[in-house]
Amino acid sequence: MSAPTSHRRTGDTYRPGSAIAEWQPEDDSFWRTTGHKVANRNLWVSIPALMLGFVVWQVWSVTAVRLNDVGFGLTTSQLFWLTAIPGLTGGTFRILYTFIGPIFGERKFTAFSTLILIAPMLWLGFALQDTGTPYWELALIAAVCGIGGANFSSSMANIGFFFPKKEKGSAAGLNGGLGNLGVSVVQLVAPLVVTAAVLGAPAGDPQRDTVKNEDVWLQNGAFLWVPLLVIMALLAWFLMNDLKVAAAPFSRQKVIFKRKHNWLMTWLYVGTFGSFIGFAAGLPLLIKNNFSASGYQATTYAWIGPFIGALTRWAGGWLSDKIGGARVTLVSFVGMAASLVVVISALPSGGDKGSFWAFYVGFLCAFAFSGVGNGSTFRQIPVIFRDLHLKKAAGQGPEAEGAALKQAEMESGAVTGFSAAIAAYGFFFIPAMFANLAVTTALWMFIGFYATCLVVCWWFYVRKGAEAPS
């Protein structure tokens, strides 16, 4: 093909910060000489930017744990709601971000969506210095922090365009998995930086933790991320690329709402990512409310679960590239259901104090399997839409097949973003269910939902003669 040769002669077309008019990752010659370098550059800028988005999104999961220790005086239900509210705004804005990115260009939009996260971090840092801050204001800050979670939809849809079919699973797994590490990063780092005046006098005076009888600087858990957000916004602006082939007005993208597999894959992703992000938000308070009397500290243990889930997301994408995403997704739901049965059996009940370690290991396994499912579902989506469109174009010539591939890429990107948006509501509903239902009741409801996911996955994607094997 002549296109790759032409592109090699005009290397400026692919320079950092440029808009790329033509992109042919399925052409082996282009991919070897040019494509993989440009794609990887965009990927490795996208990952830390996405990670910071998750940091902002999840900052309340660790902030809420210590509010009452310094004198805020909130109820258990109010604390759970503060961890849940960011999920509501995150999911809603993900729907918007899914379609905005391709309209304005993902490079520009990544820079913008990272930069605006400075505002909620500054607002949170100042609010935490005054224990008289009203609950409604804390709830509003939590809602604005939720915008950080919206970055995922635009980021994942964008990265999918850069890579060929054989590497989409691994690329999506790396972007999503390492981006998801933002949950663990904030849950690990924030509790450390609030215990000392590491940011100096500009960060403000400490509060007094009356439980541990020590000074703490809760605002450090917010202010710490501000300079990093500035740096990543600049790196995104100057080092990433806009793919014109990925540009699409909403009028073209909205076709996904007529696609059955958009809704089916969204259902499955609610089960995997919805669980991952919801458990990450709710686990710190679950540990504190059920096991703190036994001496187990939420901030010591909570971060490890999301860390495992983030890493296994990459493993799920990689494994799906080898054996097929649908099979991996099926296994992930079986694993999550079994893990939650262990969690339920380990919870305190009546006079029984429960078993923290069985509870904890059960949750770690649930995180691991949810991460695997996150990677496999996002590998399924582009395969499903590619195969369906190529079947329609079969026998109509190269031009029709090329058009089918472009349409499949556009639709799979939109479906990726939309499914991620709906699944993000797990961040809201899971802590909200823990706030309003018995924990065991909520967990059994999750297991029942996983059963429906198993049926959907097996019937449409796994069984012999399935409509869309993937």
What pLDDT was estimated at residue 401? 85
User: Which residue, among 344, 385, 349, has the nearest Cα to 363 in the 3D structure?
Assistant: 344
Cβ pair 327, 309 in contact under 8 A: no
What pLDDT was estimated at residue 12? 61
Report the CATH architecture of 19-249+258-462: Up-down Bundle (1.20)
pLDDT at residue 8 tops 60: no
User: Which residue, among 120, 129, 48, has the nearest Cα to 90 in the 3D structure?
Assistant: 120
All structural domains of the chain with their residue ranges? 19-249+258-462
User: Which residue, among 363, 367, 369, 365, has the nearest Cα to 439 in the 3D structure?
Assistant: 363
Query: Reduced to 3 states, what is the DSSP secondary structure of residue 209?
Result: strand
Cβ pair 305, 370 in contact under 8 A: no
Cβ pair 453, 271 in contact under 8 A: yes
pLDDT band, very low/low/confident/very high, at 3 (cuts 50, 70, 90): very low
pLDDT at residue 1 tops 70: no
Cα distance between residue 104 and residue 248, in whole Å = 9
Give the model confidence (pLDDT) of 154-212 as tens digits: 888 788 789 887 887 788 878 888 888 898 999 899 888 888 877 777 778 888 888 78
**Most confident residue range from 10-14, 40-44, 289-293, 315-319:** 40-44
Cα distance between residue 345 and residue 295, in whole Å = 20
What pLDDT was estimated at residue 5? 42
Cβ pair 324, 469 in contact under 8 A: yes
pLDDT at residue 251 tops 80: no
In the predicted model, what is the mean pLDDT of residues 374-397? 90
pLDDT at residue 97 tops 70: yes
pLDDT at residue 275 tops 70: yes
Give the chain's largest Cα–Cα span. 75
Q: Name every residue whose Cβ is closer than 8 Å to that of residue 49 and which is 6 or more positions away in sequence.
A: 110, 114, 151, 155, 232, 233, 235, 236
Give the model confidence (pLDDT) of 303-338 as tens digits: 899 999 988 988 898 899 889 999 999 999 999 999
The strand pairing partners of 349, in sequence order, are 352
Cα distance between residue 333 and residue 279, in whole Å = 15
Rg of the chain in Å (alpha carbons): 22
Give the model confidence (pLDDT) of 121-147 as tens digits: 999 999 999 999 999 999 999 999 999
pLDDT at residue 457 tops 90: yes
What's the pTM?
A: 0.80
Encode burial over 192-217: b for 16+ CB neighbours within 10 A, e otherwise: ebbbeeebeeebbebbebeeeeeebb
Angle between helix 36-66 and helix 106-115 axes, rounded to 10 deg: 20
pLDDT band, very low/low/confident/very high, at 6 (cuts 50, 70, 90): very low
Q: In the chain, pLDDT over 70 holds for what percent of residues?
A: 97
- Burial class (CB within 10 angstroms; exposed 0-12, middle 13-18, buried 19+) of 132: exposed
In the predicted model, what is the mean pLDDT of residues 4-26? 70
Q: Cα angle at 139 between 138 and 143, to 5 degrees?
A: 115
Distance of CA 409 to the CA centre of its chain: 21
Question: Between 325 and 299, where is the model more confident?
Answer: 325
What pLDDT was estimated at residue 125? 94
Cβ pair 375, 312 in contact under 8 A: yes
Query: Reduced to 3 states, what is the DSSP secondary structure of residue 352?
Result: strand
Q: Cα angle at 470 between 100 and 461, to 5 degrees?
A: 105
What pLDDT was estimated at residue 102? 76
In the predicted model, what is the mean pLDDT of residues 64-93? 89
pLDDT at residue 249 tops 80: no
Cα distance between residue 272 and residue 199, in whole Å = 37
Give the model confidence (pLDDT) of 350-379 as tens digits: 778 889 999 999 999 999 999 999 999 988
CB neighbourhood size of 256 (10 A): 24
What pLDDT was estimated at residue 137? 97
Average the pLDDT over each of 207-216, 340-349, 377-386 and give the range with the smallest value.
Answer: 207-216
pLDDT at residue 246 tops 80: no
